[in-house]
Structure 1
Amino acid sequence: MTELYQHRARKRFGQNFLHDAGVIHRILRAIHGREGERLLEIGPGQGALTEGLVASGAHLDVIELDQDLIPLLKLKFGLNPNFTLHQGDALKFDFSALAGSDKLRVVGNLPYNISTPLIFHLLAHADVIADMHFMLQKEVVERLAAEPGGGDWGRLSIMVQYHCRVEHLFNVGPGAFNPPPKVDSAIVRLVPHTKLPHPARDPKILERVVREAFNQRRKTLRNTLKNLMSTDMIEAAHVEPGLRPEQLDIAAFVRLANVLADLSPSN
């Protein structure tokens, strides 16, 4: 069947197709799709994971940007009643409209060039998502799962962990892909919190504070936040102005954002 549609991986789409049967099985076991669930696969490619996801009995929606892969996916899976194909860009997709009454379980082997913006796009729909399982560059997963105090702790870590519980499941070597990438990959599980551990009064202000803080991560908060907050305001959040941003946990950033939100004109 695949001989009818030989597809060369495209650099502009960041395509690296998964082919290692052992890795595929391990990912499917981690996802553990069940009948009655609503799965969504982003970038199914040649269908390495799709086959197992369809076989789980769950309803599977897939979003594929590359028009040349659409015939292959239709040929392989189009006759399955629990399979729906969407040709389009996941960065512009309305996930809330797809969810309906069932929360989505999102799966994807995400190209490096869109992984961060796509994760932020999905976080905007976190209320309709049950969990997410992604194959990403290993260094991105390490940033997602990082803890305060280290070099990996930054904007991505904080904003994702604000919304989700993060689990670095396992690493995947380059040989599992065709063509093999030049970096190691990893599987991560993101589970949106049903109740935020540290709710910000205005999440957009939290995003702004975190972004400003890490724009110059080697500087102290007194300097990096000076366009947003005075030293007195930082101290009012029970945060030491002489600390660097990587030394703060999520709760501290939320306190800073809440002080700023309390003084904003809209509040």
Structure 2
Amino acid sequence: DRVIAVEKDRGMVELLKNEYEFNNVEIYHGDFLKTDFTFDCCISSIPYSIASKIIFKLLEKKHEYSVLLLQKEYAEKMTEMESRLGIMVNALADIEIIDSVNRKCFYPVPKVDSVIVKLIPERKINSPFFSETVRILFQHKRKKVINALIDSSKELGLDKKDARSVFSKMKYREERVFKLDLEKIEEISEFLEKILKNRNQEKPV
């Protein structure tokens, strides 16, 4: 099988090329976020500071699975459905924490523990407005859905009076944002998409 190793640090690239010689391994010097490889699986210890950017880029790609070393706290948020991160990742993949890695396994010893996570891409949501709906709602995650949307009415092109009238007819309006599951958010997304589409059609040309 062919293996492509992507490394941004030039010094590390030279070290890998000098120390490890395998006929099936290609060491690529570059930024993963700017690459466009096709691949069957990804196994990586990714920089924790840009974990979200890398994970969502991976999930845009058709592949079998990714196995990633992540900060424990971050990985736990990915598995929770009460955060924007958790909702978005779960909408695109099945997630499993398969092992833990104690901080003492690294040198120098970091301040955080790590875990190994397996992500299997599986798109569960098809609404094109889903991501924007999640962003808008989770700006006010502790509020009821109707209040969160009214507070974000300007972003939706509505004044607060119109927003209150429109959202008073919506399902799940009295539920807390952080208690919503994928299916409920998708329904809210479809409702918002329909409302905005109708309003755009009503605008004079």
TM-score, L = length of structure 2: 0.84
1:89 aligns with: 31
The Cα offsets for residues 216-255 of structure 1, whole Å up to 9 and x where unpaired, read as: 222221122222384565566532x222211000111111
- Write the letter of the residue equivalent to 2:79: A
- Contact 2:92 2:121 (C-alpha < 8 Å) held by counterparts: yes
For 1:217 and 1:129, the matched residues in 2 are separated by 32
Structure 1 segments (4+ residues) deviating >4 Å: 231-237
1:238 aligns with: 171
1:171 has 2:171 as partner? no
- Contact 1:200 1:257 (C-alpha < 8 Å) held by counterparts: no
For 2:115 and 2:2, the matched residues in 1 are separated by 26
Cα distance change on mapping 1:63 and 1:72 into 2, 3 Å: same
Cα distance change on mapping 1:232 and 1:73 into 2, 3 Å: farther
Q: Any stretches of 5+ residues in structure 2 without a counterpart?
A: none
The Cα offsets for residues 157-193 of structure 1, whole Å up to 9 and x where unpaired, read as: 1111111000011211111111111011111100011
- Aligned positions of 1:68-87 closer than 5 A: 68-77=11-20, 79-87=21-29
- Contact 1:233 1:259 (C-alpha < 8 Å) held by counterparts: no
Aligned identity (percent) is 28
1:190 aligns with: 119
- Contact 2:71 2:114 (C-alpha < 8 Å) held by counterparts: yes
1:225 has 2:167 as partner? no
Alpha-carbon distance, 1:122 to partner: 1.8
TM-score, L = length of structure 1: 0.66
- Write the letter of the residue equivalent to 1:66: D
Alpha-carbon distance, 1:63 to partner: 0.7
- Contact 2:146 2:168 (C-alpha < 8 Å) held by counterparts: no
Q: Any stretches of 5+ residues in structure 1 without a counterpart?
A: 1-57
Cα distance change on mapping 1:261 and 1:75 into 2, 3 Å: same
- Write the letter of the residue equivalent to 1:93: T
Cα distance change on mapping 1:186 and 1:233 into 2, 3 Å: farther
Cα distance change on mapping 1:108 and 1:264 into 2, 3 Å: same
The alignment partner of 2:143 has SS state of coil
Alpha-carbon distance, 1:118 to partner: 1.3
Alpha-carbon distance, 1:68 to partner: 0.8
1:252 aligns with: 184
RMSD over aligned CA atoms reads 2.1
Instruction: State how many pairs are aligned.
Output: 190
- Contact 1:212 1:225 (C-alpha < 8 Å) held by counterparts: yes
For 1:185 and 1:88, the matched residues in 2 are separated by 25
- Write the letter of the residue equivalent to 2:106: F
Alignment counterpart, residue 52 of structure 2, candidates 112, 116, 131: 116
- Contact 1:173 1:185 (C-alpha < 8 Å) held by counterparts: yes
1:201 has 2:127 as partner? yes
For 1:232 and 1:255, the matched residues in 2 are separated by 18
